[in-house]
Structure 1
Amino acid sequence: MAKAGAVARIITRNLLILFLALLVVGTIIAGGELRIERNDLGKVYKFYPKNESSLPDTISSYFSATWKFLRDPPEVRGESLDTFVVKSFALLVLTEVFLLAIGLFLGLRAGYYRGWADKAVSILAPTFSAMPSWFIGVVFLFLFYWKLSLFPINFEGTINWAEVHGTLSTSTYLRALALPVLTLVFSSLWEYAFNVRNMIVNERNNSYVLYDVARGLPEGRIMHKLLKTALPAFLTFTTYNFLEILTGMMLIEVIFNIHGLGYLMAISFGLTRIGDGFGFAYAPELLFFATAVMMLFYFINAVVMEGLYLYLDPRSGGEMQ
Protein backbone atom coordinates (compact mmCIF):
# COMPACT_ATOMS: atom_id res chain seq x y z
CA MET A 1 0.00 0.00 0.00
CA ALA A 2 2.85 2.36 0.84
CA LYS A 3 4.41 1.90 -2.59
CA ALA A 4 1.03 2.28 -4.31
CA GLY A 5 0.60 5.61 -2.55
CA ALA A 6 4.10 6.66 -3.58
CA VAL A 7 3.34 5.79 -7.22
CA ALA A 8 0.13 7.83 -7.02
CA ARG A 9 2.14 10.80 -5.73
CA ILE A 10 4.62 10.38 -8.59
CA ILE A 11 1.81 10.42 -11.15
CA THR A 12 0.12 13.42 -9.52
CA ARG A 13 3.35 15.43 -9.35
CA ASN A 14 4.21 14.75 -12.98
CA LEU A 15 0.66 15.56 -14.08
CA LEU A 16 0.95 18.95 -12.41
CA ILE A 17 4.31 19.54 -14.10
CA LEU A 18 2.80 18.53 -17.46
CA PHE A 19 -0.16 20.87 -16.98
CA LEU A 20 2.00 23.82 -15.97
CA ALA A 21 4.37 23.22 -18.90
CA LEU A 22 1.44 23.16 -21.31
CA LEU A 23 0.15 26.41 -19.86
CA VAL A 24 3.52 28.08 -20.44
CA VAL A 25 3.76 26.76 -24.00
CA GLY A 26 0.13 27.68 -24.70
CA THR A 27 0.73 31.22 -23.46
CA ILE A 28 3.76 31.67 -25.73
CA ILE A 29 2.02 30.22 -28.78
CA ALA A 30 -1.14 32.22 -28.12
CA GLY A 31 0.90 35.41 -27.89
CA GLY A 32 2.33 34.73 -31.34
CA GLU A 33 -1.13 33.89 -32.65
CA LEU A 34 -2.20 37.48 -32.10
CA ARG A 35 0.75 38.90 -34.07
CA ILE A 36 1.63 36.48 -36.88
CA GLU A 37 -0.26 35.61 -40.04
CA ARG A 38 -1.67 32.09 -39.97
CA ASN A 39 -0.66 29.15 -42.15
CA ASP A 40 -3.25 26.37 -42.05
CA LEU A 41 -1.23 23.65 -43.83
CA GLY A 42 -4.18 21.79 -45.25
CA LYS A 43 -7.27 20.27 -43.64
CA VAL A 44 -6.96 21.03 -39.93
CA TYR A 45 -9.31 22.35 -37.31
CA LYS A 46 -9.61 26.11 -37.64
CA PHE A 47 -9.25 28.31 -34.60
CA TYR A 48 -9.47 32.00 -35.42
CA PRO A 49 -9.59 33.95 -32.15
CA LYS A 50 -11.61 37.13 -32.37
CA ASN A 51 -9.77 40.40 -31.97
CA GLU A 52 -11.40 40.94 -28.60
CA SER A 53 -10.51 37.44 -27.34
CA SER A 54 -8.49 37.37 -24.14
CA LEU A 55 -5.21 35.51 -23.84
CA PRO A 56 -6.72 32.82 -21.54
CA ASP A 57 -9.47 32.22 -24.11
CA THR A 58 -6.88 31.80 -26.83
CA ILE A 59 -4.84 29.39 -24.70
CA SER A 60 -7.91 27.31 -23.89
CA SER A 61 -8.58 26.94 -27.62
CA TYR A 62 -5.30 25.06 -28.00
CA PHE A 63 -6.20 22.67 -25.20
CA SER A 64 -9.52 22.14 -26.96
CA ALA A 65 -7.69 21.66 -30.27
CA THR A 66 -5.37 19.04 -28.82
CA TRP A 67 -8.29 17.11 -27.38
CA LYS A 68 -10.07 17.18 -30.76
CA PHE A 69 -6.87 16.08 -32.50
CA LEU A 70 -6.64 13.07 -30.17
CA ARG A 71 -10.29 12.11 -30.63
CA ASP A 72 -10.52 12.69 -34.37
CA PRO A 73 -7.10 13.34 -35.93
CA PRO A 74 -7.32 15.58 -39.02
CA GLU A 75 -5.00 15.48 -42.01
CA VAL A 76 -1.88 17.54 -42.64
CA ARG A 77 -0.58 17.36 -46.20
CA GLY A 78 -2.49 14.14 -46.81
CA GLU A 79 -1.47 12.40 -43.57
CA SER A 80 -3.51 12.03 -40.39
CA LEU A 81 -1.92 13.39 -37.24
CA ASP A 82 -1.89 10.01 -35.52
CA THR A 83 0.62 8.76 -38.10
CA PHE A 84 3.02 11.54 -37.07
CA VAL A 85 2.74 10.40 -33.45
CA VAL A 86 3.18 6.70 -34.29
CA LYS A 87 6.34 7.32 -36.32
CA SER A 88 7.95 9.41 -33.58
CA PHE A 89 6.93 6.87 -30.94
CA ALA A 90 8.45 4.00 -32.95
CA LEU A 91 11.71 5.91 -33.42
CA LEU A 92 11.80 6.81 -29.72
CA VAL A 93 11.08 3.28 -28.46
CA LEU A 94 13.66 1.62 -30.73
CA THR A 95 16.26 4.19 -29.68
CA GLU A 96 15.55 3.72 -25.97
CA VAL A 97 15.61 -0.10 -26.16
CA PHE A 98 18.98 -0.27 -27.90
CA LEU A 99 20.43 2.60 -25.89
CA LEU A 100 19.54 1.07 -22.53
CA ALA A 101 20.58 -2.46 -23.47
CA ILE A 102 23.95 -1.57 -25.02
CA GLY A 103 24.66 1.23 -22.55
CA LEU A 104 24.07 -1.04 -19.55
CA PHE A 105 26.22 -3.81 -21.05
CA LEU A 106 29.16 -1.54 -21.90
CA GLY A 107 28.97 0.37 -18.62
CA LEU A 108 28.77 -2.79 -16.54
CA ARG A 109 31.72 -4.35 -18.36
CA ALA A 110 33.79 -1.15 -18.16
CA GLY A 111 33.08 -0.67 -14.46
CA TYR A 112 33.59 -4.27 -13.37
CA TYR A 113 36.35 -5.62 -15.64
CA ARG A 114 37.93 -2.25 -16.53
CA GLY A 115 40.51 -2.94 -19.28
CA TRP A 116 39.79 -1.98 -22.89
CA ALA A 117 36.10 -1.33 -22.32
CA ASP A 118 36.87 1.15 -19.54
CA LYS A 119 39.43 2.98 -21.69
CA ALA A 120 37.09 3.12 -24.69
CA VAL A 121 34.10 4.42 -22.71
CA SER A 122 36.21 6.95 -20.77
CA ILE A 123 37.67 8.40 -23.99
CA LEU A 124 34.56 8.31 -26.19
CA ALA A 125 32.10 9.69 -23.61
CA PRO A 126 33.53 13.25 -23.42
CA THR A 127 34.27 13.20 -27.16
CA PHE A 128 30.75 12.40 -28.35
CA SER A 129 28.95 14.33 -25.61
CA ALA A 130 30.30 17.48 -27.30
CA MET A 131 28.87 16.47 -30.69
CA PRO A 132 25.20 17.17 -31.53
CA SER A 133 23.16 14.27 -32.87
CA TRP A 134 22.52 16.05 -36.18
CA PHE A 135 26.27 16.21 -36.89
CA ILE A 136 26.63 12.48 -36.24
CA GLY A 137 23.61 11.96 -38.49
CA VAL A 138 25.33 13.78 -41.35
CA VAL A 139 28.52 11.73 -40.83
CA PHE A 140 26.56 8.46 -40.79
CA LEU A 141 24.62 9.58 -43.87
CA PHE A 142 27.90 10.07 -45.71
CA LEU A 143 29.39 6.79 -44.44
CA PHE A 144 26.50 4.31 -44.55
CA TYR A 145 24.63 5.71 -47.55
CA TRP A 146 27.00 7.47 -49.90
CA LYS A 147 30.07 5.31 -49.26
CA LEU A 148 28.75 1.88 -48.25
CA SER A 149 25.12 1.99 -49.50
CA LEU A 150 23.95 -0.05 -46.50
CA PHE A 151 20.86 1.89 -45.38
CA PRO A 152 18.35 4.23 -47.02
CA ILE A 153 18.29 7.86 -45.90
CA ASN A 154 14.79 8.86 -47.04
CA PHE A 155 12.28 7.16 -44.73
CA GLU A 156 9.13 8.36 -46.50
CA GLY A 157 10.62 7.69 -49.93
CA THR A 158 11.57 4.13 -48.94
CA ILE A 159 8.09 3.40 -47.56
CA ASN A 160 6.32 4.91 -50.60
CA TRP A 161 8.52 2.94 -53.02
CA ALA A 162 7.73 -0.32 -51.18
CA GLU A 163 3.99 0.47 -51.22
CA VAL A 164 4.01 1.10 -54.96
CA HIS A 165 5.90 -2.14 -55.67
CA GLY A 166 3.92 -4.27 -53.21
CA THR A 167 6.92 -5.14 -51.02
CA LEU A 168 5.96 -3.19 -47.89
CA SER A 169 6.53 -5.15 -44.68
CA THR A 170 7.74 -4.72 -41.10
CA SER A 171 11.30 -5.22 -42.28
CA THR A 172 10.88 -2.27 -44.66
CA TYR A 173 10.03 0.03 -41.76
CA LEU A 174 12.88 -1.33 -39.66
CA ARG A 175 15.38 -0.90 -42.48
CA ALA A 176 14.16 2.64 -43.15
CA LEU A 177 14.53 3.47 -39.43
CA ALA A 178 17.92 1.77 -39.06
CA LEU A 179 20.09 4.81 -39.82
CA PRO A 180 18.08 7.31 -37.71
CA VAL A 181 18.04 4.88 -34.76
CA LEU A 182 21.75 4.16 -35.17
CA THR A 183 22.46 7.89 -35.15
CA LEU A 184 20.46 8.57 -31.99
CA VAL A 185 21.87 5.54 -30.16
CA PHE A 186 25.47 6.25 -31.10
CA SER A 187 25.24 9.92 -30.13
CA SER A 188 24.02 9.13 -26.59
CA LEU A 189 25.49 5.66 -25.97
CA TRP A 190 28.88 6.64 -24.58
CA GLU A 191 27.52 9.09 -22.02
CA TYR A 192 25.04 6.44 -20.86
CA ALA A 193 27.75 3.80 -20.59
CA PHE A 194 30.10 6.18 -18.79
CA ASN A 195 27.48 6.95 -16.13
CA VAL A 196 26.83 3.23 -15.58
CA ARG A 197 30.58 2.65 -15.41
CA ASN A 198 30.98 5.28 -12.68
CA MET A 199 28.10 3.81 -10.68
CA ILE A 200 29.57 0.30 -10.91
CA VAL A 201 33.05 1.51 -9.91
CA ASN A 202 31.62 3.20 -6.82
CA GLU A 203 29.56 0.16 -5.83
CA ARG A 204 32.35 -2.35 -6.50
CA ASN A 205 34.31 -1.22 -3.44
CA ASN A 206 31.40 -1.69 -1.04
CA SER A 207 31.66 -4.30 1.67
CA TYR A 208 28.89 -6.54 0.34
CA VAL A 209 30.73 -6.91 -3.00
CA LEU A 210 34.04 -7.73 -1.30
CA TYR A 211 32.18 -10.23 0.88
CA ASP A 212 30.63 -11.91 -2.18
CA VAL A 213 34.05 -12.10 -3.87
CA ALA A 214 35.57 -13.63 -0.72
CA ARG A 215 32.75 -16.20 -0.67
CA GLY A 216 33.69 -17.21 -4.19
CA LEU A 217 30.35 -16.39 -5.77
CA PRO A 218 30.25 -16.56 -9.59
CA GLU A 219 31.07 -13.29 -11.33
CA GLY A 220 27.76 -13.36 -13.16
CA ARG A 221 25.85 -13.32 -9.87
CA ILE A 222 28.01 -10.51 -8.46
CA MET A 223 27.54 -8.44 -11.61
CA HIS A 224 23.79 -9.01 -11.46
CA LYS A 225 23.71 -7.65 -7.92
CA LEU A 226 25.88 -4.69 -8.90
CA LEU A 227 23.59 -3.88 -11.81
CA LYS A 228 20.51 -4.14 -9.61
CA THR A 229 22.09 -1.76 -7.10
CA ALA A 230 23.23 0.79 -9.71
CA LEU A 231 20.08 0.62 -11.83
CA PRO A 232 17.91 2.98 -9.72
CA ALA A 233 20.46 5.81 -10.04
CA PHE A 234 20.78 5.05 -13.74
CA LEU A 235 17.00 5.33 -14.16
CA THR A 236 17.13 8.80 -12.60
CA PHE A 237 19.80 9.84 -15.10
CA THR A 238 17.69 8.39 -17.93
CA THR A 239 14.66 10.39 -16.85
CA TYR A 240 16.43 13.73 -16.99
CA ASN A 241 18.35 12.83 -20.16
CA PHE A 242 15.13 11.98 -21.98
CA LEU A 243 14.49 15.56 -23.14
CA GLU A 244 17.90 15.60 -24.81
CA ILE A 245 16.93 12.48 -26.74
CA LEU A 246 13.60 14.05 -27.76
CA THR A 247 15.36 17.19 -29.00
CA GLY A 248 17.85 15.17 -31.02
CA MET A 249 15.02 13.06 -32.43
CA MET A 250 13.27 16.14 -33.81
CA LEU A 251 16.32 17.13 -35.86
CA ILE A 252 16.97 13.56 -37.00
CA GLU A 253 13.40 13.31 -38.31
CA VAL A 254 13.97 16.36 -40.50
CA ILE A 255 17.34 15.09 -41.78
CA PHE A 256 16.03 11.63 -42.71
CA ASN A 257 12.56 12.79 -43.86
CA ILE A 258 10.54 11.02 -41.19
CA HIS A 259 7.09 12.58 -40.95
CA GLY A 260 6.96 12.56 -37.16
CA LEU A 261 6.47 15.24 -34.53
CA GLY A 262 9.79 16.92 -35.33
CA TYR A 263 8.82 17.18 -38.98
CA LEU A 264 5.38 18.49 -37.97
CA MET A 265 7.02 21.22 -35.91
CA ALA A 266 9.33 22.11 -38.79
CA ILE A 267 6.46 22.68 -41.23
CA SER A 268 4.15 24.42 -38.74
CA PHE A 269 6.03 27.71 -38.80
CA GLY A 270 8.52 29.56 -40.97
CA LEU A 271 8.97 32.09 -43.75
CA THR A 272 6.36 32.19 -46.49
CA ARG A 273 5.88 34.28 -49.65
CA ILE A 274 3.26 36.99 -49.30
CA GLY A 275 2.64 38.89 -52.51
CA ASP A 276 5.96 40.24 -53.76
CA GLY A 277 7.65 39.80 -50.39
CA PHE A 278 8.01 37.38 -47.52
CA GLY A 279 6.34 37.04 -44.16
CA PHE A 280 6.32 34.69 -41.19
CA ALA A 281 3.36 32.31 -40.93
CA TYR A 282 2.56 29.35 -38.75
CA ALA A 283 -0.19 26.95 -37.70
CA PRO A 284 -0.32 27.41 -33.91
CA GLU A 285 -2.64 24.49 -33.16
CA LEU A 286 -0.25 22.10 -34.93
CA LEU A 287 2.71 23.50 -33.04
CA PHE A 288 0.83 23.13 -29.76
CA PHE A 289 -0.26 19.59 -30.67
CA ALA A 290 3.28 18.43 -31.46
CA THR A 291 4.66 20.06 -28.32
CA ALA A 292 1.90 18.58 -26.15
CA VAL A 293 2.51 15.05 -27.44
CA MET A 294 6.27 15.35 -26.87
CA MET A 295 5.57 16.54 -23.33
CA LEU A 296 3.25 13.55 -22.92
CA PHE A 297 6.10 11.27 -24.01
CA TYR A 298 8.26 12.83 -21.32
CA PHE A 299 5.47 12.45 -18.75
CA ILE A 300 5.13 8.73 -19.51
CA ASN A 301 8.90 8.26 -19.36
CA ALA A 302 9.17 10.10 -16.03
CA VAL A 303 6.35 8.12 -14.42
CA VAL A 304 7.71 4.77 -15.62
CA MET A 305 11.31 5.50 -14.63
CA GLU A 306 10.43 6.97 -11.24
CA GLY A 307 8.04 4.07 -10.59
CA LEU A 308 10.75 1.55 -11.44
CA TYR A 309 13.16 3.44 -9.19
CA LEU A 310 10.70 3.11 -6.33
CA TYR A 311 10.49 -0.66 -6.75
CA LEU A 312 14.18 -1.29 -7.54
CA ASP A 313 15.81 0.92 -4.91
CA PRO A 314 16.67 -1.29 -1.89
CA ARG A 315 16.17 1.68 0.44
CA SER A 316 12.50 1.86 -0.56
CA GLY A 317 11.79 -1.56 0.85
CA GLY A 318 12.86 -3.82 -2.03
CA GLU A 319 15.01 -6.82 -1.30
CA MET A 320 18.26 -7.70 -3.03
CA GLN A 321 18.82 -11.26 -4.08
Structure 2
Amino acid sequence: MEKVRIVEVGPRDGLQNEKQAIPTATKLELIERLAAAGLRDIEATSFVSPKWVPQMADHAEIMAGLQRRPGVNYPVLAPNLKGFEAAVAAGVTEVAVFAAASEAFSQKNINCSIAESINRFAPVFEAARQHGVKVRGYVSCVVACPYDGAIAPDKVAEVAARLHDLGSYEVSLGDTIGAGTPASVLRMLEAVATKVPVAQLAGHYHDTYGMAAANVYASYQFGVRVFDSSVAGLGGCPYAKGATGNVATEDVVYLLQGLGADTGVDLQRLVDCGAWISEQLGRAPQSRVTRALLAKQPAANGA
Protein backbone atom coordinates (compact mmCIF):
# COMPACT_ATOMS: atom_id res chain seq x y z
CA MET A 1 0.00 0.00 0.00
CA GLU A 2 1.37 3.40 -1.01
CA LYS A 3 1.95 5.73 1.91
CA VAL A 4 0.97 9.40 1.46
CA ARG A 5 1.88 12.14 3.88
CA ILE A 6 -0.68 14.84 4.55
CA VAL A 7 0.57 18.21 5.80
CA GLU A 8 -2.34 19.84 7.61
CA VAL A 9 -2.18 23.62 7.15
CA GLY A 10 -5.55 24.57 8.65
CA PRO A 11 -4.33 26.06 11.96
CA ARG A 12 -1.93 28.38 10.11
CA ASP A 13 -2.83 28.88 6.45
CA GLY A 14 -6.49 28.18 7.07
CA LEU A 15 -6.99 30.61 9.95
CA GLN A 16 -4.55 33.41 9.16
CA ASN A 17 -7.01 35.49 7.13
CA GLU A 18 -9.99 35.08 9.47
CA LYS A 19 -11.41 38.47 10.42
CA GLN A 20 -12.96 37.32 13.69
CA ALA A 21 -10.70 36.87 16.70
CA ILE A 22 -10.09 33.17 17.36
CA PRO A 23 -9.17 32.28 20.96
CA THR A 24 -5.82 30.61 21.46
CA ALA A 25 -7.61 27.79 23.28
CA THR A 26 -9.71 27.09 20.18
CA LYS A 27 -6.61 26.92 17.99
CA LEU A 28 -4.93 24.55 20.43
CA GLU A 29 -7.99 22.32 20.57
CA LEU A 30 -8.10 22.26 16.77
CA ILE A 31 -4.49 21.11 16.64
CA GLU A 32 -5.14 18.43 19.27
CA ARG A 33 -8.23 17.14 17.44
CA LEU A 34 -6.25 16.96 14.18
CA ALA A 35 -3.50 14.97 15.87
CA ALA A 36 -6.10 12.67 17.43
CA ALA A 37 -7.45 12.00 13.93
CA GLY A 38 -4.05 10.69 12.89
CA LEU A 39 -2.41 13.68 11.22
CA ARG A 40 1.32 13.73 11.87
CA ASP A 41 2.34 17.04 10.27
CA ILE A 42 0.28 19.98 11.53
CA GLU A 43 1.36 23.51 10.65
CA ALA A 44 0.69 25.20 13.97
CA THR A 45 1.21 28.94 13.54
CA SER A 46 3.26 31.69 11.94
CA PHE A 47 6.09 33.69 13.48
CA VAL A 48 5.40 36.87 11.56
CA SER A 49 4.76 40.39 12.78
CA PRO A 50 1.29 40.82 14.33
CA LYS A 51 1.14 44.05 12.34
CA TRP A 52 0.90 42.02 9.12
CA VAL A 53 -0.95 38.93 10.36
CA PRO A 54 -2.88 39.80 13.56
CA GLN A 55 -4.50 36.36 13.70
CA MET A 56 -1.08 34.77 14.35
CA ALA A 57 -0.07 37.17 17.15
CA ASP A 58 -0.37 34.35 19.70
CA HIS A 59 2.31 32.21 18.08
CA ALA A 60 4.43 31.88 21.24
CA GLU A 61 1.35 30.97 23.30
CA ILE A 62 0.38 28.34 20.75
CA MET A 63 3.77 26.63 20.89
CA ALA A 64 3.83 26.81 24.69
CA GLY A 65 0.34 25.36 24.98
CA LEU A 66 0.71 22.43 22.59
CA GLN A 67 0.13 18.96 23.97
CA ARG A 68 2.97 17.53 21.94
CA ARG A 69 2.33 13.99 20.82
CA PRO A 70 5.18 11.60 20.02
CA GLY A 71 5.66 11.29 16.27
CA VAL A 72 3.72 14.48 15.46
CA ASN A 73 5.50 17.45 13.85
CA TYR A 74 4.34 21.01 14.48
CA PRO A 75 6.06 23.17 11.83
CA VAL A 76 5.60 26.95 11.69
CA LEU A 77 6.08 29.69 9.13
CA ALA A 78 9.22 31.76 9.80
CA PRO A 79 9.87 34.07 6.85
CA ASN A 80 12.96 35.84 8.22
CA LEU A 81 15.76 35.47 10.76
CA LYS A 82 13.87 37.37 13.47
CA GLY A 83 10.90 35.05 13.10
CA PHE A 84 13.18 32.03 13.03
CA GLU A 85 14.93 33.04 16.24
CA ALA A 86 11.59 33.54 17.99
CA ALA A 87 10.39 30.18 16.71
CA VAL A 88 13.49 28.36 17.98
CA ALA A 89 13.09 30.04 21.37
CA ALA A 90 9.55 28.63 21.42
CA GLY A 91 10.83 25.10 20.83
CA VAL A 92 10.12 24.76 17.11
CA THR A 93 11.93 21.96 15.26
CA GLU A 94 10.71 22.72 11.70
CA VAL A 95 10.05 25.99 9.88
CA ALA A 96 8.74 26.95 6.45
CA VAL A 97 9.82 29.77 4.15
CA PHE A 98 7.89 31.19 1.20
CA ALA A 99 8.95 32.35 -2.24
CA ALA A 100 6.86 33.07 -5.34
CA ALA A 101 7.22 32.04 -8.95
CA SER A 102 5.74 35.40 -10.00
CA GLU A 103 7.72 38.65 -9.89
CA ALA A 104 4.58 40.78 -9.56
CA PHE A 105 3.25 38.63 -6.70
CA SER A 106 6.59 38.87 -4.90
CA GLN A 107 6.74 42.64 -5.31
CA LYS A 108 3.14 43.23 -4.19
CA ASN A 109 3.32 40.90 -1.19
CA ILE A 110 6.81 41.39 0.22
CA ASN A 111 8.10 44.38 -1.75
CA CYS A 112 11.08 42.68 -3.32
CA SER A 113 12.03 40.55 -6.28
CA ILE A 114 12.04 36.75 -6.24
CA ALA A 115 15.85 36.73 -6.14
CA GLU A 116 15.91 39.21 -3.25
CA SER A 117 13.35 37.19 -1.30
CA ILE A 118 15.37 34.00 -1.64
CA ASN A 119 18.58 35.79 -0.67
CA ARG A 120 16.83 36.90 2.51
CA PHE A 121 16.27 33.25 3.39
CA ALA A 122 19.98 32.37 3.32
CA PRO A 123 20.55 33.40 6.97
CA VAL A 124 17.50 31.38 8.00
CA PHE A 125 18.89 28.25 6.35
CA GLU A 126 22.30 28.81 7.91
CA ALA A 127 20.79 29.32 11.38
CA ALA A 128 18.58 26.27 10.86
CA ARG A 129 21.62 24.11 10.14
CA GLN A 130 23.29 25.36 13.31
CA HIS A 131 20.21 24.57 15.42
CA GLY A 132 19.30 21.29 13.75
CA VAL A 133 15.97 22.70 12.52
CA LYS A 134 14.39 21.37 9.33
CA VAL A 135 13.33 23.87 6.64
CA ARG A 136 10.51 23.35 4.18
CA GLY A 137 10.25 25.61 1.14
CA TYR A 138 6.99 26.86 -0.38
CA VAL A 139 6.58 28.23 -3.88
CA SER A 140 3.48 30.35 -4.52
CA CYS A 141 1.73 30.92 -7.86
CA VAL A 142 3.06 27.76 -9.52
CA VAL A 143 0.36 27.78 -12.21
CA ALA A 144 -0.97 31.32 -12.38
CA CYS A 145 -0.74 34.69 -10.64
CA PRO A 146 -3.51 37.25 -10.03
CA TYR A 147 -1.21 39.93 -11.54
CA ASP A 148 1.02 38.16 -14.08
CA GLY A 149 -1.44 35.57 -15.38
CA ALA A 150 -0.05 32.18 -16.44
CA ILE A 151 3.35 31.27 -15.01
CA ALA A 152 5.95 29.44 -17.10
CA PRO A 153 6.74 25.98 -15.66
CA ASP A 154 10.46 26.64 -16.13
CA LYS A 155 10.19 29.64 -13.79
CA VAL A 156 8.60 27.47 -11.12
CA ALA A 157 11.36 24.92 -11.57
CA GLU A 158 14.00 27.62 -11.16
CA VAL A 159 12.55 28.91 -7.89
CA ALA A 160 11.97 25.39 -6.52
CA ALA A 161 15.57 24.46 -7.35
CA ARG A 162 16.93 27.49 -5.51
CA LEU A 163 14.98 26.63 -2.37
CA HIS A 164 16.08 23.01 -2.65
CA ASP A 165 19.73 23.99 -3.14
CA LEU A 166 19.59 26.27 -0.10
CA GLY A 167 18.62 23.30 2.04
CA SER A 168 14.85 22.75 1.89
CA TYR A 169 14.23 19.10 2.67
CA GLU A 170 10.98 19.41 0.73
CA VAL A 171 9.45 21.96 -1.65
CA SER A 172 5.69 22.51 -1.58
CA LEU A 173 4.23 23.75 -4.87
CA GLY A 174 1.30 26.09 -4.31
CA ASP A 175 -1.47 26.83 -6.80
CA THR A 176 -2.25 30.00 -4.87
CA ILE A 177 -5.31 31.14 -6.80
CA GLY A 178 -6.58 27.64 -7.58
CA ALA A 179 -6.52 28.16 -11.34
CA GLY A 180 -4.70 24.92 -12.11
CA THR A 181 -6.07 21.96 -14.04
CA PRO A 182 -4.51 18.49 -14.25
CA ALA A 183 -2.89 19.43 -17.57
CA SER A 184 -1.30 22.66 -16.31
CA VAL A 185 -0.26 21.05 -13.02
CA LEU A 186 1.39 18.15 -14.84
CA ARG A 187 3.30 20.54 -17.12
CA MET A 188 4.55 22.32 -14.03
CA LEU A 189 5.51 19.08 -12.25
CA GLU A 190 7.36 17.80 -15.29
CA ALA A 191 9.49 20.95 -15.34
CA VAL A 192 10.14 20.99 -11.60
CA ALA A 193 11.03 17.30 -11.51
CA THR A 194 14.00 18.00 -13.79
CA LYS A 195 15.47 20.14 -10.98
CA VAL A 196 14.13 18.62 -7.73
CA PRO A 197 13.51 14.90 -7.05
CA VAL A 198 9.80 14.04 -7.05
CA ALA A 199 10.27 12.43 -3.63
CA GLN A 200 11.03 15.90 -2.27
CA LEU A 201 7.99 17.62 -3.78
CA ALA A 202 4.58 18.32 -2.28
CA GLY A 203 1.34 19.57 -3.85
CA HIS A 204 -0.51 22.51 -2.30
CA TYR A 205 -3.67 23.08 -4.32
CA HIS A 206 -6.44 25.60 -3.77
CA ASP A 207 -9.98 24.83 -4.84
CA THR A 208 -11.14 28.16 -6.28
CA TYR A 209 -12.28 26.56 -9.55
CA GLY A 210 -13.15 23.17 -8.06
CA MET A 211 -10.07 21.49 -9.53
CA ALA A 212 -8.05 20.77 -6.37
CA ALA A 213 -9.03 17.11 -5.96
CA ALA A 214 -8.40 16.49 -9.67
CA ASN A 215 -4.99 18.13 -9.31
CA VAL A 216 -4.17 15.96 -6.29
CA TYR A 217 -5.10 12.89 -8.31
CA ALA A 218 -2.96 13.97 -11.30
CA SER A 219 -0.03 14.69 -8.99
CA TYR A 220 -0.44 11.33 -7.26
CA GLN A 221 -0.35 9.59 -10.64
CA PHE A 222 2.81 11.56 -11.43
CA GLY A 223 4.46 10.21 -8.27
CA VAL A 224 3.93 12.95 -5.68
CA ARG A 225 3.31 11.45 -2.23
CA VAL A 226 2.94 14.56 -0.04
CA PHE A 227 -0.03 16.92 -0.11
CA ASP A 228 -0.94 20.04 1.89
CA SER A 229 -4.58 20.51 2.84
CA SER A 230 -6.78 22.27 5.35
CA VAL A 231 -9.46 20.67 7.51
CA ALA A 232 -12.98 21.74 6.48
CA GLY A 233 -11.41 23.69 3.61
CA LEU A 234 -10.43 26.50 5.98
CA GLY A 235 -8.85 29.49 4.31
CA GLY A 236 -10.40 31.64 1.65
CA CYS A 237 -8.65 32.83 -1.46
CA PRO A 238 -7.87 36.55 -0.95
CA TYR A 239 -7.46 37.07 -4.71
CA ALA A 240 -10.91 35.81 -5.70
CA LYS A 241 -13.73 37.31 -3.69
CA GLY A 242 -15.96 34.70 -2.08
CA ALA A 243 -13.92 31.80 -3.44
CA THR A 244 -12.77 28.82 -1.45
CA GLY A 245 -9.11 28.42 -0.73
CA ASN A 246 -7.24 25.35 0.48
CA VAL A 247 -8.45 21.93 -0.59
CA ALA A 248 -10.23 20.23 2.33
CA THR A 249 -8.22 17.56 4.12
CA GLU A 250 -11.31 15.35 4.34
CA ASP A 251 -11.68 15.40 0.55
CA VAL A 252 -8.01 14.57 0.00
CA VAL A 253 -8.09 11.70 2.49
CA TYR A 254 -11.29 10.30 0.93
CA LEU A 255 -9.72 10.47 -2.53
CA LEU A 256 -6.49 8.83 -1.46
CA GLN A 257 -8.26 6.08 0.48
CA GLY A 258 -10.24 5.36 -2.68
CA LEU A 259 -6.94 4.96 -4.52
CA GLY A 260 -5.75 2.46 -1.94
CA ALA A 261 -3.20 4.81 -0.38
CA ASP A 262 -2.43 4.87 3.33
CA THR A 263 -2.62 8.34 4.92
CA GLY A 264 -2.78 7.13 8.51
CA VAL A 265 -5.83 9.38 9.04
CA ASP A 266 -9.12 8.32 10.61
CA LEU A 267 -11.61 9.90 8.21
CA GLN A 268 -14.57 9.91 10.60
CA ARG A 269 -12.59 11.61 13.36
CA LEU A 270 -11.32 14.11 10.79
CA VAL A 271 -14.90 14.81 9.63
CA ASP A 272 -15.93 15.37 13.24
CA CYS A 273 -13.01 17.79 13.65
CA GLY A 274 -14.02 19.67 10.50
CA ALA A 275 -17.61 19.96 11.70
CA TRP A 276 -16.42 21.18 15.11
CA ILE A 277 -14.11 23.95 13.86
CA SER A 278 -16.71 25.06 11.32
CA GLU A 279 -19.22 25.42 14.16
CA GLN A 280 -16.69 27.45 16.15
CA LEU A 281 -16.34 29.81 13.18
CA GLY A 282 -20.08 29.98 12.54
CA ARG A 283 -20.13 28.49 9.06
CA ALA A 284 -20.71 25.28 7.15
CA PRO A 285 -17.70 23.09 6.29
CA GLN A 286 -16.33 23.61 2.78
CA SER A 287 -15.49 19.91 2.55
CA ARG A 288 -17.91 18.04 0.33
CA VAL A 289 -17.01 14.78 2.04
CA THR A 290 -17.83 16.23 5.44
CA ARG A 291 -21.14 17.59 4.19
CA ALA A 292 -22.05 14.24 2.65
CA LEU A 293 -21.17 12.21 5.72
CA LEU A 294 -22.89 14.62 8.09
CA ALA A 295 -26.03 14.51 5.95
CA LYS A 296 -26.14 10.72 6.34
CA GLN A 297 -25.87 10.78 10.13
CA PRO A 298 -29.49 11.76 11.02
CA ALA A 299 -30.90 8.96 8.84
CA ALA A 300 -28.51 6.50 10.42
CA ASN A 301 -29.42 7.65 13.94
CA GLY A 302 -33.12 7.38 13.22
CA ALA A 303 -32.96 3.90 11.71
**What band does the TM-score fall into relative to the shorter chain?**
under 0.3
Mark the structure with the bigger radius of gyration.
Answer: 1
TM-score for both structures, normalised by structure 1: 0.23
Of structures 1 and 2, the one scoring higher in RCO (CA 8 A, sep 6+) is 1
TM-score for both structures, normalised by structure 2: 0.24
